[in-house]
Amino acid sequence: MIGYGKRVLVVDDDENMRSVTAIVLEEVGFTVVLACDGLQALDEMQKRRFDAVVTDYDMPSMNGLDFLARSRISWPDTPVIIISGIECDTSDGATARGAFAWVQKPFDPCSLWKILSAAVQAKSESASELTTQAVGSFDT
């Protein structure tokens, strides 16, 4: 399974969209934790480690870009994928601010799986590279 052993936080103020996204990700083995807004998501991130976050862009009190900025402070290596039903294209701005990807709603489940798998893989490779560098520094 694509997501076996990987934990993903899904953030969306729309309960139906949260549930659909969770089902789509659980089908391929991701363990999913849900949050209804950016504040609850940050609270969940303090409680446990996530391999990636999938967040809605348009939410009350803290939109997806605001969440991204705040999450980068404490969890700079956790990939954040922003999904949006908004027609205007802010995807370039989102990736420039550190989002792994921008996905337009409605999304194709296979596309989301592929993007999320790439995000989790990139995080794993980055962590592995940092560990190798740290171990290598003790060899001198």
What is d(CA 137, CA 26) in angstroms, rounded to the nearest whole number?
39
Q: Which residues of 11-26 are buried (b: 16+ CB within 10 A; e: fewer)?
A: bbbeeebbebbbebbe
What are the extents of the domains in the chain?
Answer: 7-137
Homologous superfamily (CATH) of 7-137 is Response regulator (3.40.50.2300)
Instruction: Quickly count: other Cβ atoms within 10 Å of residue 75's Cβ.
Output: 16
pLDDT band of residue 127 (cuts 50, 70, 90) is low
- Rounded to two decimals, the pTM is 0.86
Q: What is the DSSP letter of 90?
A: -
pLDDT per residue as tens digits for the range 25-67: 999 999 999 999 999 999 999 999 999 999 999 998 899 999 9
Residue among 114, 59, 58 nearest 87 (CA): 58
Q: Collapsing DSSP states into helix, strand and coil, what is residue 11?
A: strand
The SS3 assignment for 6 reads coil
> What is the model's pLDDT at position 105?
87
Please check whether residue 72 is in contact with residue 94, taking contact to mean a CB–CB distance below 8 angstroms. no
Q: Which residues contact 46 (CB under 8 A, 6 or more apart)?
A: 74
Distance between CA atoms of residues 81 and 132, nearest Å:
27
pLDDT at 140: 47
